[in-house]
Amino acid sequence: MRNIGINVSQDVRYGTDPFLVCIKNTGFDAVFTCGNEQDFIAHVADKCAVLGLFYEALHAPWDNINELWRTGPATEDLLNALTESIDLAAANNIPKVIFHLSSKENCPPVSDAGLANFDKLASHAAQKNIMITVENQRKIGNLATILEVYPKESNVQFCWDNGHEACFSFGREYLPLFGDRCALTHIHDNNCRYNVDEHLLPYDGQIDFRRVADLIHASGYQGTLMLETDLPHEGSEKYANLSMEQFVSKAYAAINRLRILSE
């Protein structure tokens, strides 16, 4: 049976360490985190090693990601941040880094400069034995180009985000296109309204998870089903009425249900 995982954040209302212990005890196998906070990443890595959790991926920063397809000082700042993500992953035995390739509707088109920028990152990641997984957003052109330029045998693969597909893609399904390149998933729910990316637990919104399960099964993907949910945190009303144990149990039940359906 495939692994199941969930995101972990510094601001989770219950505290990072209690949350990690709870998800392990509930039956989760893997985690990922977002951002380049060095001390936090090292702490999570150490805690996961003790608990026996697989720290599978680090989500690189996505601010100003459209600069990837340009040149100039802002592009250099972005490349430095993405390179730092690769280095942090390597230093903490995290095998995968997640990149966005675009942001919003009016992102730049695919460019020679952008392909050269990405190649620097892919080459650096290969030297560090790190896999880059590129995630679906609103646009398909840059994603398709990158997955065509870098072959299936390379260290560049696909991260399928089913929630983005439901609220950004006007019905386009990505697993039938790139399922053979899928190396990671982001699983969450929303109410299928354009540009409203709610990051709910599965079955709390309007996404058809029977269809999600069928797509996963048909793709042949056997990797982790990784939740990417808006964790309860200060100022958020999502799941604010749940204790840590209740929230984690609800999350486990949802992703485990999808795991069973997708076998």
Q: pLDDT (tens digit, 0 to 9) for every residue of the chain, 263 residues total?
A: 899 999 999 999 999 999 999 999 999 999 999 999 999 999 999 999 999 999 999 999 999 999 999 999 999 999 999 999 999 999 999 999 999 999 998 899 999 999 999 999 999 999 999 999 999 999 999 999 999 999 999 999 999 999 999 999 988 999 999 999 999 999 999 999 999 999 999 999 999 999 999 999 999 999 999 999 999 998 888 999 999 999 999 999 999 999 999 99
Residue in the structure block whose two tokens are 């620097």: 120
CATH of the domain at 48: 3.20.20.150
CA atoms within 13 A on the CB side of 111: 13
* Distance set, CA 76 to CA 65, 83, 108, 135 (Å): 11, 10, 16, 21
Both tokens of 162, joined, read 């089913």
Residues 6+ apart with CB under 8 A from 74: 64, 67
Number of domains in the chain: 1
Whole-prediction pTM: 0.97
What is the per-residue DSSP string for 61-126?
A: P-TTGGGGGS-SHHHHHHHHHHHHHHHHHHHTT--EEEE----STTPPPP-HHHHHHHHHHHHHHH
Q: Which residues contact 160 (CB under 8 A, 6 or more apart)?
A: 135, 136, 174, 175, 178, 179, 182, 184, 185, 186, 221
What domain range is 183 assigned to? Answer: 4-262
| Residue 90 and residue 130 in contact, taking contact as beta carbons nearer than 8 Å | yes
